[in-house]
Structure 1
């Protein structure tokens, strides 16, 4: 069978069409390795379930697109192209790179397919070279919003407006730290300074408060994820109290309180009826601000998400297709080890607490259970993961590996092979790359 190299054989605009014409309808056994597979029915199910649950709330929704970086999945996240969903459509996203924003907006300009009207840059990256790009993005979308978490950010924005004669105020989310200690304000005094400066400046406009409980990925049960959701909401309420103390007559109903992470979104899908559930309901009712939920990984999922207890393996839509390329009988294990062409670049070095190694191997049951025990740049070392009743997998056998962290794993691939439940290729998604 002829091999198509998507990076060499065709210019960028023709990649999808070339791959589709060659692989559509073929089995995964015909796909070169390593490659990224996405099961269409699973991603549709994950996305539909989340949207239906959100419909039962009064929350706004903002889809994070960094995990997949594709038009096709972004549309699904916002309520389009789902066979079992005909509910509310959303138009707000959050991006981790400006390239994601440029890619979506370029698509909308070129095709007239406008489904995004509101973008948040999810990194408090306020530098002059960033703002030059943001100004260009603002020309292509109705609303483009920035995150700030430092008084210096506001000074840079005001200076940039003066120097470039920008008359429209910057729309800002103030980023709060809910306990992750990665980015965001945790000190009430600093928050008060930032809020006061925004409200008193004609060049700045407060859109809302933004929280991401990244540490919720360490949850081990649905109840723990729900507790992190409550923490996110509580952080928003504390921030609103600071705002109220600074400006007593400020209309809090105009403020958006954006909360979310995949585990905390997943907690909403379970009707737990716990004490925390009651506290969440009471807190939301008492909050004057508009509550918005943001999340992204939920549409694809991975072993980290399965470790939270909110989903199971069947909810993971992504896997890496690799090949067994050598055998080492009785090495480091009574059965031995296997070499694959799936190393760090293919899988990442991320680990998950409930699964051994760097990925769970899916292979014919007759070979037993295997996991990715060690990785180097291009090499993966498999070892039996449950006792010694496994058998060496023949060289040349193609295997699927469920990754620990889909966001990092997917970033290594320039094409995604979308498969049906019979492991046949039904579509090709071409992701965006770069910053």
Structure 2
């Protein structure tokens, strides 16, 4: 019996209602994805990791859809590795994973937080359906090892295990010098001998890179993360010897920045990063680098503002996600100290995540309006409504009409997506205005 979760609408019913409509004519707020931009980002990522000869693991927590997951791993014969933040995401993607296996691809999906007891049996049952070597888990405390035995008993084969390294972000994991906390590595080695663990390697996720603003900064974060994981292995080589290990590192800014290595730059950070990717081991243990990232297919204002990839396009060319909202009222006639507009989309439609690059909660696209000398931003936000104003505070009239639809680029795509049960899909490569709905993608929500 499948675990019960939030009821979802029929995808076919949604398509019958939305397909062929113009996004200006649908109920709002709504969230829109431009598949042309998503394809571009996914193809670039696959080309980059292939050229650099490194592994890749696609995070699905941003979009939570099988359609984008498929684009993230492409249609070749390479390994199809994923990471998810909830077991429900893994269950939702199981049909895709089975299909990839039928195509002859090696598939592995990582449950991306340290293993907890309430999820162990459920995860193991999914693993049993997917087959051996299909599921990985994350460990950073010796008390979690008992759940690995429960996993093996239910799945009838061992889980692959990453040891979580803390490279300075302090969300989860152990510092490199403390990887053997309370005998963790020794106990894992014993569990591997007993047959209920397969040690895969070390894993780090450094979201400190979200605070960067240049490509060099993003590359420095990636290099530092690899060095930290390498130190973790070197410091504990006597407990980890015997086979090749994976160093899995990433977050969208630093992984996107790896595309810069394919250019002609010979800057110090470029040389350093290239060398680390090609020569990651500093001990007798052979090491393979794996990059992981999740937001890159859609991006958002936070990610766009890191400028991680050199020569990136304009905002409208890079960010695939936008929120449709309607203008409720206008205040252009001196009612307030400066002109403002009220839209019917607040924190429950956009999220409430800041972005260091500007003082707002979203940026209004130029879609169907005359661009001004300044940007219109979501300056203030409440639960169901938001206030639009000029980013530079100018006293010019807001060039919108009551009832007009606007598209807003959110600060954090992961949080924004979680507000909705499905995405309206458009294609700017076929429709210059990117307004005609060609598909509807249902996403999984909850836990």
| Distance in 2, Cα, partners of 1:359 & 1:136 | 41
Matches within 5 A, 1:327-406: 327-329=330-332, 330-334=334-338, 336-363=339-366, 364-365=369-370, 369-386=375-392, 387-406=394-413
Aligned counterparts of 1:366 and 1:104: Cα–Cα separation in 2: 40
Write the distance in 2 (CA, Å) between the matches of 1:374 and 1:41.
Answer: 31
Cα displacement string for residues 24-60 of structure 1 (whole angstroms, at most 9, x for unaligned residues) = 2322211211000111111111111111111101111
The answer for the alignment partner of 2:225 in structure 1 is 232
Q: 2:410·2:416 contact (CA, 8 Å) conserved in 1? A: yes
Higher mean Cα deviation, 185-194 or 109-118?
109-118
In the other structure, the counterpart of 2:439 is 427
CA gap 1:303/1:331 in 2 versus in 1, 3 angstroms: farther
2: distance between equivalents of 1:111 and 1:183? 31
Note if contact 1:303-1:355 (Cα within 8 Å) is conserved in structure 2. Answer: no
Matched, 1:127 2:116: yes
Which of 289, 301, 304 does residue 303 from structure 1 map onto?
301
Deviation, structure 1 residue 137: 1.5
Q: Aligned equivalents of 1:111 and 1:47: distance in 2?
A: 17
* Whole-angstrom CA distance in 1 between matches of 2:154 and 2:301: 49
Q: Distance in 2 between matches of 1:23 and 1:127?
A: 40
Q: CA RMSD in A?
A: 2.4
In the TM superposition, what whole-angstrom CA distance separates every residue of 1:183-210 from its partner, at most 9, and x where no partner exists?
Answer: 1101523436322211122233211100
Supply the distance in 1 between the matched residues of 2:266 and 2:129 (Cα, whole angstroms). 44
Q: Deviations over 1:334-381 (max 9, x none)?
A: 3x2211111001001111111331000124126763111111111111
Stretch of structure 1 that moved more, 285-294 or 57-66: 285-294
The runs of 5 or more residues in structure 1 that have no matched partner are 1-10, 81-86
In structure 2, the residue matched to 1:293 is: 291
Residue in 2 that maps onto 1:315: 318
CA distance in 1, matches of 2:128, 2:210: 36
Distance 1:418 1:156, change over 3 A: closer
Relative to 1, partners in 2 of residues 1:165 and 1:388: Cα closer, same or farther, differing over 3 Å? closer
Which residue number in structure 2 is paired with residue 51 of structure 1? 46
- Structure 1 Cα separation of the partners of residues 184 and 303 of structure 2: 34
Give how far 1:275 is off: 1.2
Once residues 323 and 102 of structure 2 are traced to their aligned partners in structure 1, the CA distance between those partners, rounded to angstroms, is 31
Q: Matches of 1:378 and 1:182 in 2, distance apart?
A: 30
Aligned twin of 2:140: 149
**Ranges in structure 2 where 5+ consecutive residues have no aligned partner:** 1-6
CA separation of 1:90 and 1:342: change in aligned 2, threshold 3 A: farther
Q: Counterpart in 2 of 1:70? A: 65
TM-score in terms of structure 1 length: 0.88
- Structure 2 distance, partners of 1:316, 1:116, is 31
- CA offsets 1:74-99 (integer angstroms, 9 cap, x no match): 0000113xxxxxx5544110000111
Say if 1:178 and 1:408 are closer, same or farther in 2 by CA, change over 3 A: same
Mapping of residues 84-103 of structure 1, within 5 Å: 89-103=78-92
Q: Structure 2: how far apart are the matches of 1:28 and 1:171? A: 44
Total equivalences in the alignment: 411
- SS of the residue corresponding to residue 270 of structure 2 reads helix
